Structure 1
Amino acid sequence: MASLFKKKTVDDVIKEQNKELRGTQRQIARDRTALEKQEKQLEMEIKKMAKTGNRDACKVLAKQLVQVRKQKTRTYAVSSKVTSMSTQTKLMNSQMKMAGAMATTTKTMQAVNKKMDPKKTMQTLQNFQKETAKMDMTEEMNLLLLLRFVFFDSKEREISMAHAPSAARKQPRAATSKADGISDEEIERQLKALGVD
């Protein structure tokens, strides 16, 4: 009982219209088929009357044939209009759905904007930037410690090799003095050249 008083939506109306248009198209097609049969029968009757020499009957049948052909031509015109109406209905339905989707999207965006607190959003962004900066500093410190370790380890090895008895006999004096000459200033200069302050 409730379905009888249910208010029709736009989609319901469009569906009904499309159903009616399809029904009209089917009826037009049936009418055209009947007219084509009638046209063939009249053509056959005209040929028969022409063979018997009955000119008056031929004239009457010819007039009927002309009327049938005109009617058949009208069915094509009506069918074309019905197709055009169906296309326009579908286009309107599509445009209405798009408009509805846009309205829903706008409402959703407005609801999201109301829920979001600009201060909290800004605070979150600032915290993210701080954490990113901390991570960058930590990476730079790790690189600096690594480079210092490599340079100092290299210096210690060269010094120990310079003082080793076997190494002292085989290694030239210039290399020893060069090893002894690596200072903190030299390491700092090399770090700056690598872009690490």
Structure 2
Amino acid sequence: MFNNIFGKKPTAKEQQRENDKSLRKATRDIERERRKLEEEEKKLEADIKRNAAAGNKDACRILAKQLIEIRKQKTRTYAATGKIQSIGYQNKNMGANIALGEAMGTTAKTMADMNKVMRPEAIAANVRDFQQANMRMEMTDEMINDTLDDMLNESGDEEESNAVVNKVLDEIGIEISGKMASIPATGSGEFETSGKRTEKDIAEQLAKLRSS
């Protein structure tokens, strides 16, 4: 109603609802007319019976013709109701198709929006960039490892490396020798009774070394 007042064209869904409303009204109007015809039919039947009982054949013929027309008209109302119901089903199908079409339109718009956001060509470019960067990183890491290996291998010849190792071992040996001097020999002192050092004995001896 407001659409017509302001000259705005109704949407398909609004038109479908308006059609459904009009069809229901038409069905009610036809049913009301049929009830009137049925009342007239009963009245004519009663008049025919009364005139027949009175022997008035001419009146019976006239009334019978009217009754035939009433019944024909009533039959037409049933046909009209059936036609309206058929149109109503079509209108409901149209409504379902409208809803389906709108859903498909929404889905298409959603997919279009997703395509705009996703931009497959940009994603593919990002993947390629990642692959290239990853390859460069792997190559760089490999080069650094090779360089470090080369540096470690070229820092001195084998004799110099052995000299450094021996010096460290000597220093550790001297320190250990100094500590070991205070450790009682196996089989003497407090460990003579068992003949072996237990884990507890070793732990106590190490504690003495740390405190000395």
- Measured against the shorter chain, the TM-score band is 0.5 to 0.7
CA RMSD of aligned residues (A): 2.4
Using the aligned pairs only, state the percent identity.
Answer: 44
What is the alpha-carbon distance in structure 2 between the residues aligned to residue 79 and residue 4 of structure 1? 34
User: Once the two structures are superposed, what CA deviation does each residue of 1:8-64 show, in whole Å capped at 9, x if it has no partner?
Assistant: 211222222111111110000000000000000011111101111111111111111
Rg bigger for which structure? 2
- Find the residue that maps to 1:5 and give its secondary structure: coil
1:13 is matched with: 15
2:81 is matched with: 79
What is the alpha-carbon distance in structure 2 between the residues aligned to residue 89 and residue 58 of structure 1? 46
**Alignment TM-score, normalising by the size of structure 1:** 0.58
- Runs in 1 of length 4+ with deviation above 6 angstroms? none
Letter in 1 for 2:7: F
Deviation at 1:120, TM superposition (A): 8.1
CA contact (8 A) 2:13 2:98 kept: no
- Find the residue that maps to 2:92 and give its secondary structure: helix
Instruction: Identify if the C-alpha distance between structure 1 residues 121 and 43 changes in structure 2 by more than 3 Å, giving closer, same or farther.
Output: farther
Deviation at 1:84, TM superposition (A): 0.6
Gaps of 5+ in 2: 132-212
1:58 is matched with: 60
Alignment of 1:40-189 (within 5 A): 40-116=42-118, 117-119=122-124, 122=127
**Alignment TM-score, normalising by the size of structure 2:** 0.54
Gaps of 5+ in 1: 127-197
What is the alpha-carbon distance in structure 2 between the residues aligned to residue 94 and residue 56 of structure 1? 57
* Count, aligned residues: 125
